[in-house]
Structure 1
Amino acid sequence: MNVFDRVLLGAYALFFTVTVVLFSALMIGWTVPMFLFRDVFCPDRSEVFWPVVIILIIAGARLFWLSLRGPRGRHVVLAESALGQIRVSLQAIENLVEKVVSQIKGVREVKPRMMSVPQGVGIQVRVSVTPDVNVPEISVEIQNRVKERVFAVTGLSVKAVKVSVEDISAHKPRVE
């Protein structure tokens, strides 16, 4: 869900929450919301009523469509045959990368992320390393191992492996 859809969902939920609260206040006998509803949704003020209704219908249809569509783009098609597609989730590839990089001596913490590059798939790896390693050497080793292992397991050709050393730490991170 992108930023626009999140803002739309928040505004939609806020509008209906406020409306339900005002209707509830009417039901328990508070008359102030009745004047608000009468002024806003009066038949003589259709220039307010119809645009609000149209916006709510469009927003509701958009949010309903998003709920039916489900997450997109979280899989990579590895092969296609007469029997169907063979797909692997991006999360599975990220888990593989995390396992491969964490086995390298001197790496303390790994945070992989798949990214799109013009020629295909790329992987960004953020790592924390120990102070006794050579950062350029370990970065090249990470790039080579990730590219080779992802290709060996999935057959997917990795076009770019970007390594970011986020921290040089002598201590292992605490598990909470």
Structure 2
Amino acid sequence: MKGVLNMNLFDRIMLAVYALFFSLLAIVLILFSVKIVSFQYVITSLSILYGRWETGVIGIVLLLISLRFLFYGLKSESVPETTVKDGELGRVCITLAAIENLALKVIRDIENIKDSKIKVKKQENGISILLKLTVNYDVIIPEMTSELQKTIKDYIETTAGISVNDIQISIDNVSNQLKQKVAK
């Protein structure tokens, strides 16, 4: 299911057309099997398609769509990662999800942040972090965000050894409820 959610718009449209075509074909086969549609009618209908270039084009399109979905289904999903260091004993890598968790650890320690969404993007010489936050209403946003940027940058660079190029913060909402502390 996760693969379907990651499909682009073109692939989704192709999948819908493909599914519609085969749904109609399945209905015709069911009607044929229970003798609602006669054998003679099916043969007559198929003879209309014989020798037509349009039939060949539709066949080629369906074949290409089938091959695309076949290769798409066989393609292994790689976990995005970034290189921490290349040493004489080998390469050390860390996933972007692990970096997100490191940033989340810093955010959990800040009392004035009610909710957060984190996205880490790999860049040529490090990473970029995008934060969407909900903060308490009484927080001084410029001070808190500046301190948060510095703390996250220092923590990730020290802990993971990854260069943090920038941390973009977007305040999505302001809440008047206090954050519930989770027992550790």
Task: Give the structure-1-normalised TM-score.
Answer: 0.82
Q: Contact (CA 8 Å) 1:142, 1:163: kept in 2 or not?
A: no
Structure 2 partner of 1:167: 173
Alignment of 1:64-83 (within 5 A): 64-72=70-78, 74-81=80-87
C-alpha spacing 1:27/1:136, structure 2 compared with 1 (3 Å) = same
Structure 1 partner of 2:20: 14
> What's the Cα RMSD here?
2.7
Which of 41, 51, 58 is equivalent to 1:44?
A: 51
Partner Cα distance (1:84, 1:8) in 2: 43
Structure 1 partner of 2:148: 142
Cα displacement (A) at 1:15: 2.2
Identity, in percent, stands at 25
SS at match of 2:130: strand
Partner Cα distance (2:107, 2:22) in 1: 48
Q: Contact (CA 8 Å) 2:83, 2:91: kept in 1 or not?
A: yes
Partner Cα distance (1:36, 1:104) in 2: 74
Partner Cα distance (1:148, 1:138) in 2: 15
Structure 2 partner of 1:114: 120
One-letter amino acid of the counterpart of residue 34, structure 1: V
C-alpha spacing 1:9/1:86, structure 2 compared with 1 (3 Å) = farther
Partner Cα distance (1:84, 1:13) in 2: 47
Structure 2 partner of 1:34: 42
Q: After superposition, what is the alpha-carbon deviation per residue over 1:114-165, rounded to whole angstroms, capped at 9, x for unaligned?
A: 2355654211000111111100111111211121122122111111100001
Structure 2, unaligned stretches of length 5 or more? 1-6
Is it true that 1:124 corresponds to 2:130 in the alignment? yes
Q: After superposition, what is the alpha-carbon deviation per residue over 1:84-141, rounded to whole angstroms, capped at 9, x for unaligned?
A: 5432222222222122112112011010012355654211000111111100111111
C-alpha spacing 1:24/1:78, structure 2 compared with 1 (3 Å) = farther
Partner Cα distance (2:153, 2:63) in 1: 48
Q: Contact (CA 8 Å) 2:82, 2:122: kept in 1 or not?
A: no
Structure 1, unaligned stretches of length 5 or more? none
SS at match of 2:58: helix
SS at match of 2:51: helix
One-letter amino acid of the counterpart of residue 113, structure 1: K
Once structures 1 and 2 are overlaid, which stretch shifts more, 4-13 or 62-71? 4-13
One-letter amino acid of the counterpart of residue 59, structure 2: V
